[in-house]
């Protein structure tokens, strides 16, 4: 899996995909005047290993508890955000009516 930039189609050695192995600067395909960081080829790291399937406990206990927790957070967050929005507009309206302007006395 290579992400190509530019028009080059040269392949990197297989060692380029090992996490601990680096390609020496002399082996990188580069145009003259470019730094090694501006190489036209960028190796993408290998994808993470596949996760094991969910156990019965996770599927029957942990997932529903996570969804309940998500619903609780949603029930708390939506009213608070609506209240803060209404409070902002109320304060903004009072400031406009009192002649202070939107930024207070110093603005």
pLDDT digits (tens, 9 = 90+) for 41-57: 666 777 788 889 999 99
pLDDT of residue 79: 97
Determine contact, residues 34/65, Cβ cutoff 8 Å.
no
Which of these, 34, 43, 44, lies nearest to 10 by C-alpha position? 43
Q: Rounded to whole angstroms, how far apart are CA atoms 9 and 62?
A: 47
Reported as a pLDDT band with limits 50, 70 and 90, residue 63 is very high
pLDDT in tens, 67-92: 999 999 999 999 999 999 999 999 99
The tokens for 11 are: 């392949």
pLDDT of residue 32: 55
Q: Among 23-32, 37-46, 52-61, which stretch is predicted with the lowest mean pLDDT?
A: 23-32
Q: Rounded to whole angstroms, how far apart are CA atoms 26 and 13?
A: 13
Q: Rounded to whole angstroms, how far apart are CA atoms 59 and 62?
A: 6
- Return mean pLDDT, the chain: 76
Q: Rounded to whole angstroms, how far apart are CA atoms 41 and 60?
A: 46
pLDDT of residue 100: 77
Identify which has the larger pLDDT, 2 or 60. 60
In the chain, domain spans: 2-43, 51-107
Backbone angles phi, psi at 41, to 5 degrees: -110, 135
């Amino acid at each position: 899996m290579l992400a190509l930039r530019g028009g080059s189609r040269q392949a990197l050695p297989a060692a380029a995909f090992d996490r601990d192995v680096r390609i020496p600067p002399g082996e990188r395909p580069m145009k003259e005047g470019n730094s090694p960081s501006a190489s036209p080829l960028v190796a993408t790291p290998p994808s993470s290993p596949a996760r094991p399937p969910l156990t019965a406990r996770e599927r029957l206990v942990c997932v529903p508890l996570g969804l309940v927790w998500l619903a609780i957070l949603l029930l708390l967050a939506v009213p608070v955000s609506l209240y803060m929005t209404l409070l902002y507009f109320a304060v903004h309206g009072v400031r406009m009516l009192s002649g202070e302007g939107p930024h207070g006395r110093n603005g």
